[in-house]
């Protein structure tokens, strides 16, 4: 049975690293928009006045002695949160606190997680807009569900279900991707709410080169996290097809079965078997999530 917003206990978790400039104006807005709600800022080894500003605004501060990463901050905040529902926002001030009630309202209609889906105007730059579009389309194809924003850090989740997957979440910036795919894999309901973000102050902590390469690896991780065989089977098919074509060519032209044909066919078998084993391992990872 769905519960109303008034019946839910809510915790807000904000990972922040050197975001004092943004938190000065963001936290008062958040407190005004969600009065009396547990608000936790995870200070991820900041060297500025992040901790002081949080204490000044009366929010709970959990400080990492050194920077552990955005995902690590999310996990720390989730463990600290006491609410039935956890709302995650980025500490850069781009998410509007006024959108939180709308996110919660949609959550109460039967979803286990609701993600704030950014429009094209809200993307930081064209490079990230293109990258996010690729991630969304890939993830949608793999899961069979339309995913509007795979990497958004603004989301409301049922705490009990989110905490099931803490061990899966990486310490870096790809926690939203892992979280979304884990929920779909476990059969939980994921919804989206269109939002517009605001301009952040200061520079982003994401490096286009370093994190761009990291995000490319996420594409592979997305598939293997949800269903490894959907990634490995096409690759095995390509190798198998190449092996058969090479065999036909060499047999008709040289009358022999070459080492290259053998290597390609053996590679196809090995890749397929790796995918099959990975599929079983993935099923075991989610076996405790088949409950409600």
Q: How far apart (Å, rounded) are the C-alpha atoms in residues 283 and 186? A: 9
Give the residue-averaged pLDDT of 126-155.
82
Number of structural domains (the chain) is 2
Q: Which of 5, 54, 9, 64 is nearest to 30 (CA)?
A: 54
Please name the residue that has the structure tokens 């490319």.
Answer: 216
39: helix, coil or strand? strand
| Tally of CA atoms within 13 A in the half-sphere of 172 that contains its CB | 12
CA-to-CA distance for 192 and 155, rounded, in angstroms? 9
Last residue of a domain, one of 177, 193, 223: 223
Q: What is the dihedral of CA 19, 22, 28, 30, to 10 degrees?
A: -80
Phi, psi of 155 (to 5 degrees): -155, 155
Q: Where are the alpha helices (DSSP H) in the chain?
A: 20-33, 50-56, 70-80, 100-107, 126-143, 159-162, 175-185, 208-226, 229-254, 259-285
Task: Kindly state whether residues 235 and 137 are assigned to the same domain.
Answer: no
Question: Would you state the structure tokens that stand for residue 19, as one six-digit string?
Answer: 């975001």
Pair 42, 180 in one domain: yes
Q: Do 139 and 239 belong to one domain?
A: no
Average pLDDT over residues 174-193: 89
Distance between CA 11 and CA 155 in Å, rounded?
A: 12
Domain of 216 in residue numbering reads as 5-223
219 and 234 together in one domain? no
Q: Looking at the structure, tell me whether residues 82 and 198 fall in a common domain.
A: yes
Among the three residues 223, 257, 275, which one is the final residue of a domain in this structure?
223
Q: Which residues pair with 87 in a beta bridge?
A: 12, 156
Pairwise CA distance, residues 270 & 285, whole Å:
23
CA separation for the pair 245, 267 (Å, rounded): 15
The reply to whether 71 and 127 lie within a common domain is: yes
Give the pairing type, strands 190-195 and 10-16: unpaired
More confidently predicted of 203 and 82: 82
Same domain, yes or no, for 252 and 195? no
Among 82, 87, 81, 37, residue whose Cα is nearest residue 58: 37
Query: What's the pLDDT tens digit per position in 210-257?
Result: 655 666 677 677 777 778 888 899 999 999 999 999 999 998 988 888
What is the pTM (predicted TM-score) of this model?
A: 0.81
Q: Last residue of a domain, which of 193, 223, 253?
A: 223
Are residues 130 and 91 located together in one domain of the fold?
Answer: yes
Q: Encode pLDDT of 82-105 as tens digits.
A: 999 999 999 888 899 999 999 999
- For residues 89 and 156, what is the distance between their CA atoms, to the nearest angstrom? 9
Which residue has tokens 């096409």? 234
- What Å distances lie between residue 220 and 11, 94, 217, 225, 226, CA to CA? 32, 28, 5, 9, 10
Domain CATH number, residue 55? 3.90.550.10
240 with 111, same domain: the answer is no
Same domain membership, residue 165 and residue 29: yes
Report the C-alpha gap between 156 and 150 in whole angstroms.
14
pLDDT in tens, 31-69: 999 999 999 999 999 999 999 999 999 999 999 999 999
- Decide if 260 contacts 232 (C-beta within 8 A): no
- Gap between the Cα atoms of 20 and 285, Å rounded: 38
Instruction: Kindly state whether residues 168 and 213 are assigned to the same domain.
Output: yes
Residue with the bigger pLDDT between 134 and 64: it is 64
Mark whether 203 and 82 lie in a shared domain: yes
């Amino acid at each position: 049975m769905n519960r109303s917003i008034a019946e839910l206990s809510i915790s807000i978790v904000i990972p922040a690293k050197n975001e004092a400039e943004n938190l000065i104006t963001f936290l008062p807005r958040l407190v005004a928009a969600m009065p009396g709600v547990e608000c936790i800022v995870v200070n991820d080894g900041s060297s500025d006045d992040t901790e002081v500003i949080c204490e000044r605004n009366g929010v709970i501060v959990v400080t990492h002695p050194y920077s552990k990463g955005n995902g690590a901050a999310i996990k720390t905040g989730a463990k600290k949160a006491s609410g039935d529902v956890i709302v995650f926002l980025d500490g850069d001030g781009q998410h509007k606190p006024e959108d939180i009630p709308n996110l919660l309202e949609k959550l109460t209609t039967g979803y286990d997680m609701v993600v704030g889906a950014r429009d094209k105007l809200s993307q930081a730059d064209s490079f990230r807009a293109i990258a996010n579009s690729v991630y969304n389309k890939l993830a949608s194809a793999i899961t069979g569900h339309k995913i509007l924003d795979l990497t958004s850090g603004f989301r409301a989740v049922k705490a009990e279900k989110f905490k099931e997957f803490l061990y899966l979440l990486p310490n870096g910036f790809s926690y939203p991707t892992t979280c979304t795919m884990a929920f779909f894999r476990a059969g939980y309901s994921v919804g989206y709410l269109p939002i517009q973000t605001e301009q952040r102050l200061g520079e982003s902590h994401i490096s286009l080169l370093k994190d761009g390469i990291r995000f490319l690896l996420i594409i592979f991780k997305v598939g293997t996290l949800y269903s490894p065989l959907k990634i490995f089977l096409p690759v095995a098919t390509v190798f198998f097809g190449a092996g058969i074509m090479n065999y036909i060519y060499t047999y008709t032209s040289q009358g022999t079965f070459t080492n290259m044909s053998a290597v390609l066919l053996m590679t196809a078998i090995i890749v397929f078997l790796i995918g099959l084993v990975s599929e079983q391992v993935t099923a075991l990872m989610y076996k405790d999530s088949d409950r409600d």
